[in-house]
A and B are shown apart, each in its own frame.
Chain A
C-alpha cells in the first residue's frame, strides 16, 4: 500500500464546475500537509498548505482530517487554466523538511 494514495482520475469537468479531490495517508506521524500543482512534465509548484482548521485561497479550499487521515481539495468555479495534475503531499516529520511523500497525483481536465 502506498503511503499517500490518490485517485489518478482523470476528472473531466466543464468550466464553472466545482470539483473535489481526496487523498489518504497511512502514517499517523505525518506532521504537515500540502497540495502541489504540476503542469504536464513541468516542476511541481506549491498550491497551498493544509491545516486542520481548513484553509481557503480564492477558489481553492483545503481540509485536513487527522482522525481519518485524509486530505481534501475543493476547486470552485473551475477555469480552463486549472487543468493540471494535483499532487497530495505529506511531510512525515522528525524535522526532515525535504522528505516529502507525494501521492500519484490526480489529473484534472477542465473543458470549455
Chain B
C-alpha cells in the first residue's frame, strides 16, 4: 500500500513568488496535517484538515493557506515567499480525527527560497 505521497520533492523559488505543495494521504485516511521543519528544529504545525474542513491552524501568517479536496488530498499554498520560508514541508495523514490517532508522514517537499 502506498504511504503518504508529496510532490514535488524539491523546489527552488525566488522571493515574492508563490508556491503550491501537494499531498495525497494514505488510502482511507481522512485527515491531513501540514508541518514546516526548518533545519535543526523539530516540525512546526501549520494546518490540519479533516473531511475537507480546517480543524486547526498554527502560528503562521496569512500568506499560508491550504485546502482539502473531496478525495482527501490536500494542497498547501504559500504566497509572497520570504527567505525564511525555506524549509522541509511535511504532510501527515491519519485515519480519523481524535486525540490518540497516529500520524504518518510523507517524505516532504524541500523548498528553497533564493
Residues of A in contact with B (beta carbons under 8 Å apart) = 4, 8, 31-32, 41-46, 49, 87, 89, 91, 93, 95-105
- In Å, the complex CA distance between A96 and B103 comes to 12
Contact B42 A98 (CB under 8 A): no
Residues of B in contact with A (beta carbons under 8 Å apart) = 31-33, 35, 40-45, 47-48, 50, 55-56, 58, 88, 90, 92, 94, 96-108, 110
Contact A97 B94 (CB under 8 A): yes
> Could you jot down 18 A-B contacts, CB within 8 Å?
A31-B99, A32-B99, A43-B105, A45-B105, A49-B102, A95-B97, A96-B56, A97-B96, A98-B32, A98-B47, A98-B103, A99-B33, A99-B48, A99-B58, A100-B103, A103-B42, A105-B41, A105-B42
Query: Which of A49, A87, A98 contacts B56 (CB under 8 A)?
Result: A98
Taking the closest CB of chain A, its distance from the CB of B36, in whole angstroms, is: 11
Contact A44 B43 (CB under 8 A): yes
Residues of chain B contacted by A46 (CB below 8 angstroms): 102-104
Taking the closest CB of chain B, its distance from the CB of A19, in whole angstroms, is: 19
Residues of chain A contacted by B105 (CB below 8 angstroms): 43-45
- In Å, the complex CA distance between A43 and B98 comes to 22
How many A-B pairs have beta carbons closer than 8 Å: the answer is 79
Given A43-B106, A104-B40: A97 and B99 interface contact (C-beta under 8 Å): yes
Residues of chain B contacted by A43 (CB below 8 angstroms): 90, 105-108
Closest residue of chain B to A41 (Cβ to Cβ) is B88
The 9 A-B residue pairs with the shortest CB-CB distance in the complex, in nearest-first order: A98-B48, A102-B42, A98-B33, A43-B105, A97-B101, A96-B56, A99-B56, A102-B43, A43-B107
15 additional contacts (CB under 8 A) given A42-B107, A97-B101, A99-B33:
A41-B110, A46-B104, A49-B100, A87-B42, A96-B48, A97-B97, A97-B103, A98-B33, A98-B45, A98-B56, A98-B97, A99-B48, A100-B35, A102-B42, A102-B43
